[in-house]
Structure 1
């Protein structure tokens, strides 16, 4: 039981460093990209909200993130916070 718990903790620790929310990946994202293209680079968003045909999605958390605004599933604005 303790071995399994240790293995799970080790895997979670290793995967926490595997985030695709990086400055390098942010620099690959361009205005005009489709949502699917962005997801290929940084994965599925952690949260999205929609208002009158505009979708705003965020990858990461409040301290370190990538935020992208989509209109008709096409990136129109990209922002980043806390990326190195």
Structure 2
């Protein structure tokens, strides 16, 4: 039973280390990129809001995040903080 617990704990640590919210993926973003391509790269956003054809989506948490602003379904600008 202890081996199973250790294996599960190791898997969780490994999964957390594989976050898509990192400097490498941030570097792949570019203006004009389609929203579908951003979501393929980063996964589903944690939060999105918008109006009048403009929207803003965020991935990550308050310490480490990527924020992307869209005009229609194309990247207008993006920023990141605490990326490794």
Hey, which bits of structure 1, 4+ residues long, moved more than 4 A? 1-6
Distance 1:53 1:3 in 2: 52
* Structure 2: 5+ residue stretches without partners: none
1:18 equivalent to 2:8? Answer no
Query: TM-score with structure 2 length normalisation?
Result: 0.85
1: distance between equivalents of 2:2 and 2:59? 33
What RMSD, in angstroms, separates the aligned Cα atoms of the two structures?
1.6
3-state secondary structure, aligned to 1:80: strand
Q: With structure 1 as the length reference, what TM-score do the two structures score?
A: 0.85
Counterpart for residue 72 of structure 2 = 72
Rounded Cα–Cα distance in structure 2 between residues aligned with 1:7 and 1:30: 39
Structure 1: 5+ residue runs without aligned partners?
none
1:26-82: CA deviation from partner (whole Å, max 9, x where unpaired)? 011000000111112211211111223211101111110100001111100100111
Across the two proteins, how many residue pairs are aligned to each other? 84
